[in-house]
Amino acid sequence: MATHQADFLVIGSGLAGLNAAIALSEHGSVILLSKVQLGESNTAYAQGGIASVMSDEDSFDAHVRDTLKAGAGLCHREVVEKIIEAGPSAIRNLVETGVQFDESDQGFSLTREGGHSNRRILHAQDITGREIDRAFRMKLASTENITILQHHVAIDLILQDRFSESAVCIGAHVLDAHTGAIDTIGAQATLIATGGAGKAYLYTSNPDVSTGDGIGMAFRSGAKIANMEFFQFHPTCLFHPRAKSFLISEALRGEGGILRRRDGHAFMKEIHPLADLAPRDIVARAIDAEMKRTGDDHVCLDMRHRDPAFVAERFPNIHTACMSFGIDMTQVPIPIVPAAHYMCGGIQTTERGATSVNGLWAAGEAGHTGLHGANRLASNSLLEAAVVSQWASEDMVSWAKEHQSPAPQPWNSGDARTPHEAVIIAHTWDEIRRLMWNYVGIVRSRSRLEGAQRRIELIEHEVIDYHWKTQVTRDLVELRNIVAVAKLVIGCALQREESRGLHYNQTFPEQSEQLYDTQAQSVSHNDIMWSRRPLDGSS
């Protein structure tokens, strides 16, 4: 069991983590954790692109307006304005780091996606995330002062005075997944950049690493968590038994793609003035309703009216992936279904990533700044990850100059035994993911949510018991965090007695007149405080 000490600890190696680690390395020593190998993150799978105002025909006002509209009244307006106005400088930083976005004669080639009133999505073909990840890893390789620990899984944060006003994060306990040892890492300032939690649902566009570990760790540490009921379902993931919910980018609809029932009927024009480019929540619910009404197991996305050469050249990654499943998207409609995609809620932070716990910041999908409100506008998440991680790193530097943390205590394994019943973990994983899909999915009801809450409480008892009696493995760490995410999504959904944005509850189909965020905070080992936080600041 090793002990490491650094000025800064960054947990996660997607865009938020990589950007922060590089910025922090100019001011002190950094330890960067990656749960598996570098390059495996939601970031690396991003397709459509990153939204920013880059053309004279566009304006910050228009981008703010589109974001607020998608967010259905719950965006924090000041945060939206600040992050959107920082977009062009974040893009400059990405380009200086080496990211090569597609260009046209007029400069960057800008595409459109659902809910955007203008072309403002910078992209690298349909593999924008892979290009961002490539450029940042190249830069990382030539950056000094960063110790990269791959296959290291953060288990829990280490707190001084946990659950008190003066609680301060002084590092983390981390599983070395190769040796099974549990290392202790001390740091003056820690950033959670662990991404999303799509794996809490049975069907998801997210890779296996997205298990909400940062949410679980922060929650157990007493940090405030907000708006977890707002889980975004991407309308168009490939429907194929071997495709593992491969994403079919919204940019296809930005380039004219039409959603059709299996009988060929184009249904979106009857549902929203923007038809196929309506905001994601509306499109996902419309598909869900069509599938439930017709009994079909999928609907289709039709690109056949576009020039085949254009389609193959603009979307080479998606075209190749579909071909590998025997689907030529230039000739036949693509079978698609919705899948869990993006966690709009998260660890409550300021727009600069500060959490409610001293010494702890969060950025990217793990954080909740208030940018997305009740529904994220497409391609605003890479923007948020780039901007907030930059600002968080500046504040972490200032904090570290003024605070000296004590060395943390090593992990105590007690008499934990070697796990010999892996089936328990595999079964419980499956049970939770099915429960979330069937009871806490695109359309919810009070009775289903209450049923889910009863079940998750039982599962939680079993998992915590197993966790303390058994040696820690990656599967077990993730299972414990999936349980925490499920519990938070269900609890926040029960707090919200209305339908708004991504949260549609048949029992409360109307919007409330009050605008509030839901919040959860562990105030002791056994007690959670659930609350509603009015957006106007009143209590």
User: What residues act catalytically?
Assistant: 280
Q: How far is the C-alpha of 105 from the C-alpha of 55, rounded, in Å?
A: 13
DSSP letter for each residue of 376-420: PPTTHHHHHHHHHHHHHHHHHHHHHHH--PPPPPPP--TTPBPP-
Chain position whose Cβ is nearest to ligand SIN: 48
Task: Give kind and range of the element (H or E) at residue 34.
Answer: strand 30-34
The residue from 40, 156, 250, 517 that contacts ligand SIN (CB under 6 A) is 250
Provide the 10 A C-beta neighbour count for residue 379: 29
Considering the complex, state which of residue 224 and residue 368 has its C-beta at the smaller distance from ligand SIN.
368
Considering the complex, state which of residue 48 and residue 491 has its C-beta at the smaller distance from ligand SIN.
48
Stretch that binds ligand SIN, among 162-170, 212-220, 245-253, 330-338 (CB under 6 A): 245-253
Q: Is 364 in the site for ligand SIN (CB under 6 A)?
A: no
Task: Give kind and range of the element (H or E) at residue 520.
Answer: strand 516-522
The residue from 42, 47, 52, 245 that contacts ligand SIN (CB under 6 A) is 47
Q: Is 18 in the site for ligand SIN (CB under 6 A)?
A: no
Q: Is 41 in the site for ligand SIN (CB under 6 A)?
A: no
Stretch that binds ligand SIN, among 99-107, 378-386, 409-417, 500-508 (CB under 6 A): 378-386
Q: How far is CA 341 from CA 322, 384, 503, in A?
A: 19, 16, 14
Q: Where are the alpha helices (DSSP H) in 86-212?
A: 87-97, 128-141
> At closest approach, how far in Å is the CB of 83 from ligand FAD?
12
> At closest approach, how far in Å is the CB of 48 from ligand SIN?
3
Could you give phi then psi for residue 282, rounded to 5 degrees? -70, -45
Considering the complex, state which of residue 40 and residue 113 has its C-beta at the smaller distance from ligand SIN.
113
Q: How far is CA 249 from CA 35, 52, 58, 111, 437, in A?
A: 26, 18, 23, 12, 22
Stretch that binds ligand SIN, among 154-162, 192-200, 247-255, 403-411 (CB under 6 A): 247-255
Q: Is 383 in the site for ligand SIN (CB under 6 A)?
A: no
Q: Is 84 in the site for ligand SIN (CB under 6 A)?
A: no
Residues making contact with ligand FAD (CB under 6 A): 11-17, 33-36, 40-43, 45-50, 128-129, 153-154, 193-196, 205-206, 209-210, 213, 247, 342, 364-366, 379-382, 385
Q: Is 338 in the site for ligand SIN (CB under 6 A)?
A: no
Considering the complex, state which of residue 311 and residue 385 has its C-beta at the smaller distance from ligand FAD.
385
Structure tokens at 420: 């010999």
Q: How far is CA 293 from CA 198, 289, 510, in A?
A: 26, 6, 22
> At closest approach, how far in Å is the CB of 403 from ligand SIN?
36
Strand ranges in 120-210 using DSSP code E only, listed in sequence order: 121-122, 146-150, 152-160, 168-176, 182-192
Is the CB of residue 227 less than 8 Å from the CB of residue 345?
Answer: yes
Stretch that binds ligand SIN, among 85-93, 132-140, 248-256, 352-360 (CB under 6 A): 248-256
Task: Give kind and range of the element (H or E) at residue 85.
Answer: helix 77-85
Considering the complex, state which of residue 194 and residue 356 has its C-beta at the smaller distance from ligand FAD.
194
**Binding site residues, ligand SIN, CB under 6 A:** 47-48, 249-251, 342, 378-379, 381
